[in-house]
Structure 1
Amino acid sequence: MYSPSLKSPFISPSSSLSLTETVNGSHHFIIKGYSLAKGIGVGKHIASENFTVGGYQWAIYFYPDGKNPEDNSAYVSVFIALASEGTDVRALFELTLVDQGDHGKHKVHSHFDRSLESGPYTLKYRGSMWGYKRFFKRTMLESSTFLKDDCLKINCTVGVVVSAMDSSRLQSIHVPQSDIGTHLGMLLENEEGSDVTFNVSGVKFHAHKLVLASRSSVFEKEFDGMEEHNNEIVVTDMESDVFKALLHFIYRDTLIEEEFLESSSSCMSSLSKSLASKLIAAADKYDLPRLRLMCESVLCKDISVSSVANILALADRYHAVDLKSVCLKFAAENLVAVMESDGFEFLKENCPLLQSELLKTVAGCEEEVSEGGKTRSVWAQFSDGGDTNDRSVRQQTWDDGGERSQSLWVQLSDGGDASGRSPMQEG
């Protein structure tokens, strides 16, 4: 029988938290040459680069002639696609067509700012999409301030829904970012405790053997061979501003900010390109692979038809593997235009070994096309507007290599296609 006078035993309370939220990320997609994209065909799209949100890859698809055949190209269509493997991925989306006029009246379609009667959108598999077949009427778009200088700008935000047991928000301690680079940088600037001096074109830099040796095996060996009474090293193969940038990296693990533009910038000054070209040589000399990659990243943004040959020669000389790979693929996919550039003549005369590498890359692009890839056939560049019979020549070239590769190179350099005809000659 229950007695109210009996006290219940003490029970410790417990709690847990199930947290469902979105992991958000955004991507900015710029479409230049809108008028040239028209006529691509209904159901055919221009895709942005893939971007990652919530552990999944996503892409923006823009359909200049619309996605729906029934609309007869009256509308442009915009979609967000799941570009990686995934099953039942739940997400919120926002698509914004940026108004490039003075009013800033952007066209926004968003899940984020409205109540969701059926919850977030579910994408079942890779290739699933969310968006609008009738995103904007073409006639209205082309007379609006959304289109400026034949350019459109689309912002996309994806919020991937995740659920987890979360105790981190109940108690957490913030850990600041490492500032060791700042402290070492001050050591370089103050010259306190320096024990080695570099004379570079008359400019003297005071540094610390221990710091330099810990970062570069080349410096370590150089210091081991120094005489005790001699603490000055003369550098004859480098400019003073390049050596200053080299020391800045060694101590701070960053590039000199005033010499390199922000990563968000769409172009680079001639000064930054010139410094990056010289600094990559310093990175190779002193065996600093991270610095070399930083320079590769800067130079990669400058690759164009007119510059790719020179950058390719630079990458090959200083063992910049990633940059070289990007240059080879770009040159192969734009071979005709690259061959007409001034840099191509330099490449042909001074870097003969790169000829066969470029031809092999051309072959790789051809294989990608034959397997259903999106890359345009490189050989089709020579056959546009004329007849060509390149299959047998192409096969002999890749099988035999050597002389045949050189022979084909000469044919291409002379302005003819692989069959010996001029690209505009009809047989």
Structure 2
Amino acid sequence: MSTEENAATKEDMMCTVEETGIWCPKIFGALLEDPSTHDVTFKTSDGGSVSAHRVIVAAGSRVFHAMLYGNMKESSQKEIELPNIEEDILRHLLTFMYTGKVCFSMDRCVDILDAAHYFGVEILESCCADYIETTLAIENCCENVTVAHKKNIQVLVAKCLSFMFNHAVELIKLPQFKELPVDVLLAFLESSDVCAEEIEIFLAAVDWYKHQGSQNSEVTNKGIFQLVRYPLISKSDLIHKVRPVEEIDSVLYTAALEYHLLPEEYAGPPEQIKPRCPFFEVISVTPSTVTLEKNKDKTVISRIGSRSWRELCVIKVTPFQQNPLKFTLCLEAYCDRSYIVFSLKSVKFESIPRDRNDVNGFNAMHLKQGEATDVTVSYSGPSKVVVNIGLQSQSVTVRDTSVFLCIYFYNPGDKLVISCV
């Protein structure tokens, strides 16, 4: 945690979750604060003691209901031992049961979520999971999903995995990725929603296996590497980056090479050629005058500033061998004279020229404000990629699996919205 975060006030570090429309918070809150009306006491794992009303606690938790009104020994006890929860967490849990609202420090959120999951307080569990989802970041996602998996909180595991799929490019490069539990890694590799190139997914799996997989009896090396979709990896990477790894599945590797030679005669597992999440990465060459806003479904490129000169953004596009990559471009124009020029390159990103005089293949496009233009990127043969923008088309020979779609802006205030199809 940074020095600035450490300096935050206690109020700044508080989280409040609330469910309205069910409770009368003031009345029930007063009951919780009045021990003279309580008829059961809970002894916590840290030696604490918390009293409450049996009927209210039972109504708020199916686990407590079974404990207090079922055939368990606790149903006849005035004092009940709870060895799996601390006093502070129990008080937060009871506060929510009584009032539908609870306020707690952010560092206790996972503990309260765990308690809500254990005692079956589903509304609080959902509220905590939703809050944690809003705080997920590249730096903490792997840690959160590991804790959620350990505590078997599947609602949080699902939210963390969804975040991991959408930010896979950054996450798979972190040291924390190598600490993921086996089941989480397998769920990651099995998903078709992972937004990353297959070779990067493969290399991340190799790093994970070298770090902990070879000593992990829960899964064999083939259990991991069979989930890599080798045909989605370029022939060059198959030969130079995949083949040297001893643990790969030789049958799937051979089938992938045959697929690149004769894709129409591919006879390997069909899930191997199922495409993952369409992948494109928007890169700003002039970040001082072009801004990016990204989320799962769309990217917004904004041309800022006040001077009318051309600015460049680049989309690195990685289509799939079988299914074309499709997205739409929609110009939110600042004025009627707004237009955009496209160019397609197969050179390295560092070699892309900023001068639009190097544009080849595409004519200047006067995109109408609010109207979407379809873009399709697909393979037309070995190392040949075709890009269609509206009615225009351009092909380029590529060395790898990616091409660069260059976009030249001309008017300040223009916004280009890129949406997945």
Q: Give the TM-score of the pair, scaled to structure 1.
A: 0.41
Larger RCO: 1 or 2 (CA < 8 Å, sep 6+): 2
**Larger Cα-atom Rg:** 1
TM-score, normalised to structure 2, is 0.42
